[in-house]
Structure 1
Amino acid sequence: MTTIADPVHEPRTLAAAGFILVYAMVIGFTDNFVRVIAEDGGLWQFHATRMVMAVALLAVAAPFLGLDLRPRRPGAVAFRSALHGTAMMIYFGCLAFLPVATVAAGLFTAPIFTLLISRLAFGQRIGPFRILAVAIGFLGVLMVLKPGQGGAFGPATFLPVAAGALYALGNIATKTWCAGERAEVMLAGFFIALGTFGILGMGVLAFWQPAAPDGQEGFVLRGMAWPTGRFLFWTFVQAAGSLIGVGMMIRAYQVADAGRVAILEYVILPASAFWTWALWGETLGPLAVAGILLIFAAGLIIALRGRPPGPR
């Protein structure tokens, strides 16, 4: 029997590809300037400041775009936001001392962890192709992260992977507990969670007062400081870029099949590597590039094997 073609399927996929491309280029660009922010401020102050800016932008845009920021299940949204917020705290902390493409590769292990958690915690069956995808993706992670640590494994090596695991838990919470929530609600919850972590972190550092090194090395240990103009400017760019980028990603999932969009989303890896090269002249080694390709292949297998069969 032949497959019935959907005349609107291809245009929707092309539109989703356009949205994802904008998302990847915007996020890849803004995340590269976290190293600049790290020279003037701290991780915790950055997230607290960005939360204020992002929520203010959302509040201003809400009446014009018809957004409703009231959650239907506040507890579920808060738990999901805490998981994704913790993952992104680790992600942004790593950006101060690792290339964006390397950290993004660790975060993009989330589909692999989603698969493993679904099997171990919920008993969902996974076939041989998905088991192969897990093995390929794990090998790719080792290839990408090992060069970033000079060939030596340490706690910092696996921090981006830990972020991927927490992001996977947040994705599962999104599907199981937040299925009926609006995208703008989860986006606002995400920024509020990060900002809350930032405020708590600044409070702890105010009492602890550790000696923070100058520059990027003191990003995680630096507490509240008088913000420079450069810090405020690039934090605002981060807030606005995140809202635009994530909005484009959400729109892509609205217009096309989720399995296809999940594959397209991996374009952020080469986009991040491109901006790192264009802005700072830094390039990834051949081993890291091969690892990114393996992670992409793993995500491709997981997405394709997870799609329901098409109409016949």
Structure 2
Amino acid sequence: MAKGSSATASAAVPVAGNDTAKAVTYLCAGLFIFSFQDIIVKLLSSTFPVHELVMIRGLIAAPLIFLYVHYDSGFQTLSVKRPWAHLLRSFCMFLSYITFYLALAAIPLTTAVALFFTAPLIITALSIPMLGERVGWRRWLGVLFGFCGVLVILRPGSEGLQWAALLPVLAAAGYGFSQLLGRRLGANDSASVMSFYTNITFVYCGAAMALVLGDGAYADGTEGAMSFLLRAWVVPNGLEMAMIATTGVIATFGFILLTQAYRVGEANKVAPFEYSVMVWASLLSFIFFGTLPDIYTLIGAGMIAASGIYILYRERTNKESELRGRGPYQTRYAMK
């Protein structure tokens, strides 16, 4: 997911400098290759079940992320103090990925990405009960404006509304919850460690889904997202296996690029450029599928992006002095 989202996330990374131009370059490059992952998933969604893609992707990414943990913080950091919290965060991330991928099988990529960017709005709302943060009326207006953008895209009551269009919003909710947990865990554990445990969870959960759904017993008569969920396991040919393996490589190197972005630049200056993924999604959708976002998606996406950037601005205004003294910043990285 551009996640991704594509995307927004939270894990503590120490800031190594303040090179905004380099940070934005890392960020945009990471989001660009994550957009390719979304394209690959969408291309394969008519042939393979989602659990197969997630499981193989995780198996490919596992050794790469394991090596990156060694480079980033050392293998000893894999011994965490709160394993159950890591498990809960990882499972929420897994549900987020699954629902976003299911959406790709049924709706345009640009629509899915735009709706997924409600994650910052959901994070703002959930930060009150989960972190005890205070959210002023200006940020609440920003949240309300963003969800009005969701309504513009979904157009409730119109003939074009699909239930699958709600999946990216559910993905954003799971993602937001996982990232708020990540803010707590980030005080003791690195982003690479959290990514490692998330990836392992993907493998085990994908395998569990395959055991239950892998024979395709429930797939008869389904289509779109439901077919992608319930389809039987398929043995990939060489090209298909290469495409699936590529998603695992993208997951690793995309994560590294996004982490580096927040290491060399200030989070509040870099994060607004996460919305560049909408440009990549639109461009790649046109190249691979010949589709462009309709006027409702463009207007709604603009409203969601504007609200997210405004909320970020208000957070920076209210907490700038606190952020300077805290050391690690919260990174936002995609749900792919």
Say whether residues 1:108 and 2:102 are aligned partners. no
For residues 154-195 of structure 1, the C-alpha deviation after alignment (integer angstroms, 9 at most, x for no partner) is 532211111111111111100123422122111112222222
After TM superposition, list the pairs within 5 Å mapping 1:58-207 onto structure 2. 58-59=65-66, 67-68=74-75, 70-73=78-81, 74-146=83-155, 151-206=159-214
Rg: which structure is higher? 1
Q: Distance in 1 between matches of 2:62 and 2:300?
A: 36
Identify the residue that residue 328 of structure 2 maps to in structure 1.
none
Identify the residue that residue 36 of structure 2 maps to in structure 1.
29
Structure 1 position 133, deviation (Å) = 0.8
Q: Distance in 2 between matches of 1:200 and 1:268?
A: 32
Identify the residue that residue 250 of structure 1 maps to in structure 2.
259
Unpaired runs of 5+ residues, structure 1, are 1-8
Q: Please, what is the CA RMSD of the aligned residues?
A: 2.7
- The letter of the residue matching 2:187 is A
Sort the Cα spacing of 1:152 and 1:40 in 2 relative to 1 into closer, same or farther, 3 A. closer
Q: Distance in 2 between matches of 1:77 and 1:201?
A: 20
Q: Distance in 1 between matches of 2:180 and 2:304?
A: 20
SS in 2 for 1:105: helix
Identify the residue that residue 234 of structure 2 maps to in structure 1.
225
Q: Distance in 2 between matches of 1:63 and 1:82?
A: 24
SS in 2 for 1:219: helix
Q: Distance in 2 between matches of 1:178 and 1:11?
A: 21
SS in 2 for 1:33: helix
Is the Cα contact below 8 Å between 2:214 and 2:231 reproduced in 1?
A: no
Is the Cα contact below 8 Å between 2:219 and 2:230 reproduced in 1?
A: yes
Sort the Cα spacing of 1:234 and 1:208 in 2 relative to 1 into closer, same or farther, 3 A. closer
Structure 1 position 208, deviation (Å) = 7.1
Structure 1 position 11, deviation (Å) = 6.1
Sort the Cα spacing of 1:88 and 1:278 in 2 relative to 1 into closer, same or farther, 3 A. same
- The letter of the residue matching 1:47 is V
Identify the residue that residue 330 of structure 2 maps to in structure 1.
none
- The letter of the residue matching 2:171 is A
Sort the Cα spacing of 1:219 and 1:254 in 2 relative to 1 into closer, same or farther, 3 A. same
Is the Cα contact below 8 Å between 1:105 and 1:292 reproduced in 2?
A: yes
Sort the Cα spacing of 1:212 and 1:225 in 2 relative to 1 into closer, same or farther, 3 A. farther
Sort the Cα spacing of 1:282 and 1:116 in 2 relative to 1 into closer, same or farther, 3 A. same
- The letter of the residue matching 1:80 is R
Structure 1 position 291, deviation (Å) = 0.9
Bigger shift: 177-186 or 235-244?
Answer: 177-186
SS in 2 for 1:39: coil
- The letter of the residue matching 1:85 is F
- The letter of the residue matching 1:266 is Y
Sort the Cα spacing of 1:228 and 1:62 in 2 relative to 1 into closer, same or farther, 3 A. same
- The letter of the residue matching 2:229 is V
Is the Cα contact below 8 Å between 1:146 and 1:157 reproduced in 2?
A: no
Say whether residues 1:302 and 2:308 are aligned partners. no
Q: Distance in 2 between matches of 1:132 and 1:296?
A: 14
Unpaired runs of 5+ residues, structure 2, are 1-15, 325-336
Q: Distance in 2 between matches of 1:153 and 1:258?
A: 36
Q: Distance in 1 between matches of 2:73 and 2:183?
A: 24
- The letter of the residue matching 2:188 is G
Query: Structure 1 residue runs of 4+, over 6 Å off?
Result: none
- The letter of the residue matching 2:308 is G
The one of 4, 20, 25 aligned to 1:18: 25
Q: Distance in 2 between matches of 1:146 and 1:57?
A: 42
Is the Cα contact below 8 Å between 1:71 and 1:181 reproduced in 2?
A: no
Q: Distance in 1 between matches of 2:262 and 2:135?
A: 24
Q: Distance in 2 between matches of 1:67 and 1:282?
A: 45
Q: Distance in 2 between matches of 1:195 and 1:67?
A: 22
For residues 85-132 of structure 1, the C-alpha deviation after alignment (integer angstroms, 9 at most, x for no partner) is 111111111111222221122221111111111234555322222011
Say whether residues 1:241 and 2:246 are aligned partners. no
Structure 1 position 150, deviation (Å) = 6.5
- The letter of the residue matching 1:137 is G
